[in-house]
Amino acid sequence: MARLEPKRVALLLGLWAGAMLLYAGTLRHPPVWDDHEFVFGQDFLMDCRNLPRALSPASLLSVLPVRNCARPVWLASVLVDTCLGGGQVHAYRLGSSFWHAVGAVLVLALGWGLSGGLAAALAAGLLFAVHPVHAEAVNIITFRSDLLCLAFMLGSLLLYRDALRRAGWPRRAGQAGALAAFVLALLAKEMAVVLPLLLLLSHAYFPAPAPGRARPVRRRAALLAAAAFLALVPLYLVFRSPRSGYVSMSHQDVFSSWRQSVPAQKLEDPPWSEVYDDPSARFLTMSRVFGSYLRLLVWPWPLQGDYAPRVVRDWLDPGLLASWGAWLGLLAAAWALRRRLPLAGFGLAWTAVGLLPVSGLVLLRNLQAERYLYVSSAGFCLAVGAFWGELDRRLGGKRRWAGRAVLGLLLAVWAGRVWSRNSDFRSDQAFLEAAAAVDPGVPRVRLALARLHEGRGDWAAAEGEYRACLGLWPRARRARLQLADLLAGRGRREEALAQLRLAQELFPGDPEVLERLSRLVRRRAAGAPAKAKDV
C-alpha cells in the first residue's frame, strides 16, 4: 500500500465516519428478533464481570454456560458493550455500526494494497459501507459475528500481503499476526474457514513481489502459507464440536453429530426439511438460493428478515437454470479478468468462495439469510469498484465526471435504501410486518406475529396468524399447541381438543402433547370450565 499521507488518513477516517453515520438512526431502536434470546435474555452477557472470563484462554478449553459460546470473540465484544454502556441498547448498536465501519475501511485498504489504485479501492469501500444487504447484520446484535469475522479476515489478508514485501523478522512477525487474526476470525464465526482459499487466490491474481526468486519458489511459499492457515482449521473444529449446534426432531448439524450427548430439547423440523434427506433436492434448492444471492448483491430489493426458500425438485426449473447461468458467467469472468483486471477477477472469485460455507455442503438449519452474504459481499464490492476504477481511468473530461456522477447516484440510492431499511428494525412488530409484506409465505414470521398479537390480547389476530402458520407449516408443533392454548383459554374447548388430537397424530408419543390432551379431556369430563393454564 502507498504511504499513508495525511490526506489519505483523512479519507479512511471519513469513510469510517460515514459508515457509522449511516446507522446513527438505529441507536434508539429496542432489541428485535434473535436479540431477545441471544443477547438480552442471557444473564451472562448482561454482567460486565464476565468479560475476564470470556477473554481468558481457559474459556477455549471449557464450555461457557452461554448461548453462542462457540463464538467467543462475539461474546467478548458484547460484554465490552455491556461494560461501556451499562446494558443500554444503544451501546450494542453503536458497537455493531463501529465494526461495520471498520470492515468498510479494511475493504478499501485491501483493494488499495492489492491494486495500488486508490479510485477503485475507494469505490469498493464506499459500496461496501452503503450496500443495503448489510442492514440485517448491522441492526441485529446477534449477527455481529459476521461483522467481526470479516473484519479479522480482512485484517489477516492485509497483514499477510504486507509480510510478503518484507524480509527477516518483520516478515515473520507479519505472518504471525496474520495467523492470529485468522484465529480471531474463526472464533467470531465459522465463515472464516474460506480464508486459506482467499490467500491462494490472492497469489494467483497478485503474485507476491519477490525479486530474484524463481516462480516455483514463490508458488511453494504460497502453498506453505496456505498450509499453515489450513493447519488451524482442524484445531478449530476440535474447539467447535462440543459447543453450540442444533438438533431437530429428525436431523442435527455436523457439530452436534460429533458430540456424544445432544440437547434434551429438540427443535422442530423446518418446512424445508426435505432438503436434509434428499441430496438432489438440497443441490437444486441451494442452487436456486445462490441465484437469489447474486440478485441481492446486484439488485438488493426487496429485503426481508426471514426466508422460507421453496424446495426445488425439477432440474428444468427456470429460476434454477437462470442461477446456473449467472454463476457460470461470474466464474468465467473471474478467470478471464485474472490478467486484464486482476482486482475485479479476484473480487468475483471471492464472491463465490465466500459462500461455500453456506452452500449446503454442511447442513444448515436456515437455508437462506441476508447475513450470509456479508463476507461474500466484500469480494463483490471489490469487483465493482475495480470495474468502476478502470472506467474512470479510461474516460476523460466530462465523461469522467459523468461516470463519477453515476457512482455517486448509486451510492445515494443505496444509502437511502439502508436508511429506510433501518426503520424495519425499530420494533419487533415493524420487523415482522415488513418481512410478511415482502413474503406472506414465511411460516416462522407468521408464528412470531401470532405470539406478538397474543401477548397484546388481540386474540382474533393471533388465531389468524397461528392458522396461517399451520397452513404453511402443518408440522409446526409449537404453533399447534399454542393455538390449542388460545382456543381453550377462549372457552372453545372442542376446537382445542381437535388441535391436540391432530398434534397427537403428527407427533405420536410426544409427552407434552399427551399430557395436554389428557388434562383437557379430564377437564371436559368433569364439566369444569376450560382455562388456558389447564392446557
For residue 252, report the phi and psi dihedrals to the nearest 5 degrees.
-150, 155
Domain map of the chain by residue range? 6-240+279-424, 440-534
DSSP 492: -
Q: Judge contact between 106 and 380, C-beta under 8 A.
A: no
Q: How far is CA 74 from CA 6, 262, 365, in A?
A: 33, 24, 20
pLDDT at 5 (0 to 100): 74
Q: Within the chain, which residues score under 70 in pLDDT?
A: 1-4, 208-219, 246-247, 249-250, 252-266, 527-535
SS3 of residue 247 by DSSP: strand
pLDDT at 448 (0 to 100): 97
AA letter at 89: V
3-class secondary structure for 224-237?
A: HHHHHHHHHHHHHH
What residues form DSSP beta bridges with 247? 252
Q: Judge contact between 330 and 322, C-beta under 8 A.
A: no
In whole angstroms, what is the distance from residue 161 CA to residue 155 CA? 10
Burial 186-210, CB ≥16 within 10 A → b, else e: bbbbbbbbbbbbbbbbbbebbebee
Read off the pLDDT of residues 5-36 as tens digits, 9 standing for 90 and up.
787 788 899 999 999 999 999 999 999 999 99
Read off the pLDDT of residues 118-133 as tens digits, 9 standing for 90 and up.
999 999 999 999 999 9
Q: How far is CA 266 from CA 65, 278, 477, 491, in A?
A: 18, 21, 11, 31
pTM, full prediction: 0.94
For residue 267, report the phi and psi dihedrals to the nearest 5 degrees.
-75, 160
**Any idea which residue has 457460470 for its cell?**
328
Q: What spatial distance separates the first Cα and last Cα of the chain, rounded to whole Å?
A: 66
Read off the pLDDT of residues 306-324 as tens digits, 9 standing for 90 and up.
999 999 999 999 999 999 9
Half-sphere exposure for 315 (CA within 13 Å, toward CB): 1
Other Cβ atoms closer than 10 A to 92: 25
pLDDT at 219 (0 to 100): 67
pLDDT at 249 (0 to 100): 66
Consecutive H or E run containing 502:
helix 493-506
The CATH architecture of the domain made up of 440-534 is: Alpha Horseshoe (1.25)
